[in-house]
Every structure is written in structure tokens, then in C-alpha cells.
Structure 1
Amino acid sequence: MKISRTRSSSRLRTILPTVLVLAVILGILAGLYGYAHSSQEEQGESPTAYAEYESGTVLQILADNCEADEVSEGAYRGEQTLLVEVTSGQYKGETLMVTNAVGPLYGEPAQVGESIVMIVNTYSNGDHTATVYEYNRIPMILVVVALFVLVTVLVGGETGAKSILGLALTVAMLLLVFLPLLMKGWAPIPTAFLLCSLIAIVCFVILGGCSKKIACACIGTIAGMALAMLFGLLAQKLLHLDGLRATDAEALLQLRQTGTPVHIRGLLVAGVIISALGAVMDVAMSIASALSELKTVNPQLTARDLWKSGMNIGRDMVGTMTNTLILAILGSSTVLILYMYSLSLSWHQLMSSSYMGIEVISSVSSAVGVILAVPLTALTSAVIYGRSQGAPSPAAGGTKATGKKQK
């Protein structure tokens, strides 16, 4: 009975700090969410003409002149006239005649029974027309995400489920908090660093509760992101580049001209912080977990021993992790890289282009954060674990203190 009560008390002491930390940080994130979405309703009369994106089901193909284009690798060109039943929005249930423009870059032929997304234009006199926007990919996206969750949970078990929860929170915070705060005029770099730090702590606590291992991983992650941010600031200063030269910056400049107080210059380094987060968390957690196991197996390890072991483990991780990070960034730009290669640009023209400079800043700064997270996490773990010297193991003669044989 006493043993049961002791175990319950010990478990309660372990759970309470975890719940408290999660409650505090989630409360902060909820407050930021509330602020980010406050005062967004604009007062005034409703527009007399507007466009909406709604889903619909193709009932019949009335006309179709689409033909395969060999130059476009068999992609279709032409136009279709469709009879579509609207399945969402204010016109749900209506049947509309819809035009579908088809081309290699902007559309594909629709089939009877397929679900599509339409642009429904409503005019001041109440009339409305529709054109096909795209194939409705929402159901299949949900299927793909569901398969990803299923595989993760089947292979990772409880830990996999916790990682999915952390991933969902990360995506939600970046989309629902980070972007709205930027639209309200918050500085991108400190905002990204603050949110990524809070997200890292929440994800780690969800995975492992409140422990020395989690504390080491959190400190290593935040320190690694901070150094990636500082290196990114230095790199963009040296290369005379910032967010104003990034892709689609012109559209954001137009937003500023209409009164939206979004800051563009800091977006490049803010992207560095976000792109480095996952890889830095991976490295920091791996090293902290490895040193925790080493200390458990051999409590006599000193801080110096743990530091050396952490660095040896980290060096093996650096090569693969930096390759993974840089190749992921370059892989997402394969189409643009191929296009630039096809132009046969000279060495000076290519290396001095803003595109190359931005890619160097993004990939190298993120990699620097990953690399420097290794010694920072190893040092933090060595200091925290090295302070507590475990009792001598039985093999070292720890049971001889009483001078009697244990039964």
C-alpha cells in the first residue's frame, strides 16, 4: 500500500510541472492568437460586386475542344463548357454553366462526377457567373495527411502520436499566429524567434515531459536558432541582400502602399529561423538523449567525459544533417535552378544574382545553426548531468558498505 502511494506521489510530482509549463506557454500562444485576430472586421457596407471560391460537381460536359500538345509533353490545351452543381456557399444546390480554360500551366480537362473549385462572380444586379479555378484537391490532401499520420503512429507508437501533435501545433502557430502578427506590423525576426522558441519548448515537453534531458534539448535548440539568426543577419549584411530582393516581395510592397504595415526586410532571416527549427531540434534532442542514457548506464561519468562523448556523437550527425537541410532547400527550387542553367549564365552573372545570394544565406545560415547546436547542447548536457554524481554501482563494490551479505 505504501509502495503504491509512493509511486502515485512520484508520478504526480512528474506530471504537475509538465502540465504547468504547457498551460503557461499555451496560454501565451492563445493570447497571441487572440491579439493577432483582433479588430480584423472592417466596418462599412458590403461590396456590390465580389468573387467567391466554391466547390461544385461536374454533371455534364456540354462542349470540349481540348487536344494534347506534344510540345507540352502531352498536356492538354483548349476549353470546356461544363454543367456544374454548386456544393458550397450561398449558391449551393444551383446548377451553373461553367467555362474551364485548359492549359499546361493553369488547368486540366474535367470529367463528369469530378469535384472542382470555381470562381463565382456576383455582380451588383445580382447576376452571377462561374469559371473553373482548379481541381478540388482538399479531399485528397486530407487522405495524404491521414496516411502520413497513420504511418507515423504505427511505426512510432505513442511517441509518434506526440510528434504529430507537436507538428500540428507548429503548423497552426505559424499560420494562425505568425502570419497575422506580421500583417499587424510586428518585426519578423524577433517574432519568428519568439514563436519558434515557444513551439520548441512545447513540442519537447509534449514528447518527454519536464526533465533534465528536455531542459538540455530546449537550451540547445534555442541557442542554435539564435546563432543561425545572428549568422543570417551577418550574411545578409555582407551580401547586401534582405527580404526586399526575395521572390514575391513586390506584392508585399504593394500591400504596404495600401496601408498594411508589413515589414519586408526581416523576412529573409525570419525564414532562416523557421527553416532551421526542425533540424536544430533533431540534433539537440539526439545529443541530449544520448548523454542522458550514457549518464544512466555509467553514473560515474564526469562533465568532461560527457562533453567529449557529446562532441563525438554530434560530429557524426553534422554531415548528414547539414546535407539534409541544404538539399531540402535546393530541392524545393529545382525548377528555377534548371531554368537558370538553361540560360547558360556566366559565372559572375550567376554568383552575383540575388537568387544565388538569397539561397546561400538561407541554406548556410540554417546549417550553421544546426552545426553550432552540437557543442551548445553537449556543453549544456555535460554541465547539468555532470553536477550529479551517481552512487557507485554494485560492480564497483557499492554493496560492501554494510559489511554484510544482502539477502
Structure 2
Amino acid sequence: FFWLFAEAAFIFTILSLWLVIGFNKQWFVTCASVVSGTVIALLIGLIAMNVTNGKGVHYEALDYATQSPKQLFLAATVIGLLGTVMDAATDIVSTLFEMKRTDEKISERQLFKSGMAVGRSIMGPLINVLLMIFFAETFTMAILYFKTGNSIAYTFEWTMALGIVQTLVSGIGVTLVIPCASFLSAKVLGGAQDVND
């Protein structure tokens, strides 16, 4: 069911962007940035987990996971990753398209540099929000583990390891989508006469 969740998440992402942005160049660039950033980040995460053989990652620690906990974990990772990457890509692409509307003479290089600057300014807060959400979700369970006499290492391994992996994969996605969205926007807008096509 991982592929079912992944395909559904991508379809809903594309449809939601279409409903919000409309079918135009901005939608195309945003979708291309989101898909490329998500796929590359997920591949990096999967490669890292395969190289380490998933050491320290207990998929069975997922809430309500009775069957195929690894697939359920990966599906949840894709959904979280898509949301984070879509947030960053939308901010960058919409900013660059607005810059082009304001100044039609702006160059590809200036657009790319502006996109990277926007990305750097939102990357930190986005990753911080991910960490705070993750800590808020696991805090009560970690306290329960401590209260029952478990060590810090054991508590971390069984309550926080999965969330940290998801946060790292999402952080990689945000980092990757910044140059991707900046580059695609700059290329599409470089010679564009009308950004609303």
C-alpha cells in the first residue's frame, strides 16, 4: 500500500496546487519543483536506510501499525515530505513570479539568486516547525518511558527515532527544493513575456 499512498499524495498535491494557482506556468514550475525535490529526498532517505540496514529504526513502534509497519512509515514520510516541500516551493516560485510581474527586465541570474535568498530565509523556520511538531507528538510518550525507568537511549530509540528520520528526510527535501525551484523559475521566466500563460 506504500505505492497507493504515494500515488494518492502526489495526485492530491497536483490537484490542490491546480485549484489554488490555476493551470499556468507557475503551476507547472511549482509541480515540477515539488515532485523533483520529493523524489530525490525520498531516494536519499531510502538509500541511507538501506546502507545502515535500518539500524536503530523500529518500525513496529508506529502507532496503530499492525501490518507492514515499514510501508506505513514510508507512506507517512512521503506525505510529510510532500507537505514541507510544497510549502517551500510555493513560497519561492510565487515570489519569483511576482518579481517578474513587477520588473519584466529582471534577468535569470537575478531571479535565481533571489529564489535562493528566499529559500535560505524560509529553510530554518520550516525545519524548526517540523522539529517542534515532532517533539510535541512524542513528548508525552517519552515522559511515560522515563517514568517507567527506561534509559534515555532506549526512550529515544522507541519514541523519537522514527520522527527524527522523517524530519531529516523532510529537511533534505526542503534543502533540495530551494535550488530546484529557483532554477526552474529562472529558466521559465527568463525569456517569458507573460507570466500568466
Do Structure 1 and Structure 2 share a fold, with TM-score over 0.5? yes
Q: 1:284 aligns with which of 76, 83, 89?
A: 89
Q: 1:224 aligns with which of 25, 37, 48?
A: 37
Q: C-alpha separation between the residues in 1 aligned to 2:170 and 2:107?
A: 32
Q: C-alpha separation between the residues in 2 aligned to 1:341 and 1:347?
A: 7
* Aligned-pair CA distance for 1:344: 5.6
The residue number in structure 1 matching 2:133 is 328
Residue 236 (str. 1) matches residue 49 (str. 2) = yes
Query: What TM-score, normalized by structure 1, do the two folds share?
Result: 0.43
Q: Cα gap change, 1:331/1:382 in structure 2, threshold over 3 Å: closer, same or farther?
A: same
The residue number in structure 2 matching 1:359 is 163
Q: What pairs with 1:307-326 in structure 2 (closer than 5 Å)?
A: 307-326=112-131
Q: 2:183 aligns with which of 346, 367, 379?
A: 379
Contact 1:224-1:369 within 8 A present in 2 as well:
yes
* Aligned-pair CA distance for 1:210: 1.0
Q: Deviations over 1:12-57 (max 9, x none)?
A: xxxxxxxxxxxxxxxxxxxxxxxxxxxxxxxxxxxxxxxxxxxxxx
* Aligned-pair CA distance for 1:349: 3.5
The residue number in structure 1 matching 2:26 is 213
Contact 1:242-1:268 within 8 A present in 2 as well:
no
Matched position secondary structure for 2:112: helix
Q: C-alpha separation between the residues in 1 aligned to 2:69 and 2:151?
A: 30
Q: Cα gap change, 1:244/1:346 in structure 2, threshold over 3 Å: closer, same or farther?
A: closer
Structure of larger gyration radius: 1
Root-mean-square deviation (Å): 2.2
* Aligned-pair CA distance for 1:279: 2.2
Query: What TM-score, normalized by structure 2, do the two folds share?
Result: 0.85
The higher-RCO structure (CA 8 Å, 6+ apart) is: 2
* Aligned-pair CA distance for 1:193: 2.6
Q: C-alpha separation between the residues in 1 aligned to 2:126 and 2:145?
A: 27
Question: Is there any run of 5+ residues in structure 1 with no aligned partner, and where?
Answer: 1-181, 183-187, 253-262, 391-407
* Aligned-pair CA distance for 1:274: 0.7
Which structure is higher in strand share? 1
* Aligned-pair CA distance for 1:282: 1.5
Which structure is higher in helix share? 2
Q: Deviations over 1:315-363 (max 9, x none)?
A: 0000111111221122122210222333464454445x24332122122
Q: What pairs with 1:252-263 in structure 2 (closer than 5 Å)?
A: 252=67, 263=68
Q: C-alpha separation between the residues in 1 aligned to 2:64 and 2:95?
A: 43
Q: What pairs with 1:140-155 in structure 2 (closer than 5 Å)?
A: none
Q: Percent identity?
A: 25
Letter in 2 for 1:388: A
Letter in 1 for 2:177: A
The residue number in structure 2 matching 1:202 is 15
What count of residue pairs does the alignment treat as equivalent?
A: 191
